[in-house]
Amino acid sequence: MAKTYPLEAYPADAAIQALDGTVDAPTGLAYIPKGTDSTSTPSLEVQFNRRLARQNRQLDNAGRVVAEVTALNIGVYPINYVQGGAIKSFDGSSGIVLADNTVTFVWIDNANAVATGAAWPGVISDFVPLAKVTTAGGVVTAIEDWRGAARYRV
């Protein structure tokens, strides 16, 4: 079954314009006021880069699987996680070569190592699911993020 993604409505234009120069309380991110330019203090570049720097710190890359520059290679960002009641730390990995024209599942196993296979390895408490990766034509064509399955266990 295909996933359904809601088409989220934007607030009214007037509500968005009213945000100029304010700070979003939940994230601490500032809205850059209309009219800010290179002659402003701080300049548009400084205000924009400040916002991006704060946004970048909030990105959740922990355990994220990414396509690397070399075709058919993937890498995994470092992640701290709990498995079997123990706190573990995976230091990240690079240069994981996948076969072409396949669907490959990627996870961290009981030995705290990246593992891959044609399906998940069984009982979810025995591994940390990371992604489902599709390759075709000599490149990674899709990475479906499965980290949420580890976060939202019942």
Q: Residue 65's closest CA among 54, 76, 56?
A: 76
DSSP 60-77: --TT-EEE-SSTTEEEE-
Q: Tell me, what's the pLDDT at 27? A: 85
Residue 77 lies in a domain: yes
Contacts of 121 by beta carbon, 8 Å cutoff, 6+ apart: 107, 109, 115, 127
Domain membership of residue 125 as a residue range: 65-151
Q: Tell me, what's the pLDDT at 85? A: 84
Whether pTM exceeds 0.85: no
pLDDT tens per residue, range 87-103: 999 999 999 999 999 99
Q: Tell me, what's the pLDDT at 152? A: 65
In which element (H, E) is residue 89 found? Answer: strand 86-90
Residues 140, 73 within the same domain: yes
DSSP assigned state of 28: T
Residues 34, 69 within the same domain: no
Residues 79, 20 within the same domain: no
